[in-house]
Amino acid sequence: MGSGIAQCTALSGFEVVVRSRSQSTADALVAGIEKTLQKQVEKEKITGEVAGTALSRITATSDFSVLSDCDLVLESVVEDIHTKKHLFLELDRICADHTIIATNTSTLPVIEMAMETGRPDKVCGIHFFNPATVMKLVEVVRPITASEDTIESAKEFATACDKIPVEVRDQAGFVVNALLFPYLNNAVRMLEQGIASMEDIDTSMKEGCGFPMGPFTLLDLVGLDTSLAILDALYEEYRDPNYAAVPLLRRMVTAERLGRKSGRGFYNYHSEK
């Protein structure tokens, strides 16, 4: 997600700092962006000059202090509230007083991150969708502490990135995931119950409902670990059985079948040898 967000932000004219825990990961993220931009040039979607300019706007670093110059910091780390809270504490210490600190969380309570900082009025959610370079929607999430200026700035930022912002209250799953994940979870349940094969479930939802991809292809795209974390957060908030992750999903994560990113999820992405 981080690299997708950095790519569309740089293409929209913003100076971007990609900060990762190690310099090699940060460099690898930027190398990935360069490759994607190159593909866009080959497809004649953008010129080489536009790609080069976008790339030159991105700085890769492992140094936290570089973020002190940024007007907006958007975290996109693992979906774990303790990790995020710790990060917000650190960011609050480093960032300038005017800086908005935002989270790309899909489900976790933004208020908990906001309250780690001395600036809860300048904290909100800015939630991009997968793949971030393609999907137009951005959910701007308003915790009860956020100021009007913060929410307006977040919307302006999303619009400037050529995205379509919608405003949502700080409630687990916001709009999209609260509606999407019961569907994905029920698809796994259907597979577990042997009602149909995953290929046929995917085909059914594509060809019967016009969805761009079936539920298992989408789960693999989002990542099964992320999907499980989303369902757990939804269940934690609502205690609704619809959100209780199906055992097969949990076992897939334990088996490190995480989807495209690990080479295997519901489908196998390892190239044939």
> What are the start-end ranges of the H helices in the chain?
2-11, 23-42, 48-56, 81-94, 110-114, 148-160, 176-192, 198-209, 215-222, 224-238, 247-254
What's the number of CA atoms in the CB half-sphere (13 Å) around residue 124? 28
C-beta of 20 vs 40, nearer to ligand CAA: 40
262 is catalytic: no
**Considering the complex, what minimum distance in angstroms separates the CB of residue 135 from ligand CAA?**
5
The active-site residue out of 20, 106, 153, 227 is 106
Displacement of CA 193 from its chain's centroid (Å): 30
Is 76 a catalytic site residue? no
Residue 82 among the catalytic residues: no
CB of 175 vs ligand CAA, minimal distance in Å: 10
**Smallest distance, ligand CAA to C-beta of residue 213, A:** 4
Minimum distance from residue 106 beta carbon to ligand CAA (Å): 3
CB-based contact 104:1 (threshold 8 Å): yes
Catalytic residue among 139, 153, 185, 227: 139
Contact criterion met (CB below 8 Å) for 73 and 19 = no
Residues forming contacts to ligand CAA in the complex (CB under 6 A) are 40, 43, 45, 106, 129-131, 133-135, 176-177, 180, 212-213, 218, 222, 226
Q: If we measure between CA atoms, which residue out of 120, 126, 117, 124 comes closest to residue 88?
A: 117
Other beta carbons within 10 Å of 45: 11
Q: Which residue in 3, 104, 177, 227 is the catalytic one?
A: 177
Is 177 among the residues known to form the active site?
yes
Nearer to ligand CAA, 95 or 219 (CB): 219
Kindly name the residue from 127, 153, 185, 227 that is annotated as catalytic.
127
Shortest distance in whole angstroms from residue 232 CB to ligand CAA = 13
Torsion of CA 184, 190, 193, 196, to 10 degrees: -130
Cβ proximity to ligand CAA: between 93 and 169 the closer is 169
- Which residue's CB is nearer to ligand CAA, number 160 or number 213? 213
Number of Cβ within 10 Å of residue 13's Cβ equals 11
Closer CB to ligand CAA, 65 or 271, in the complex: 271
Residues recognised as catalytic: 106, 127, 139, 177
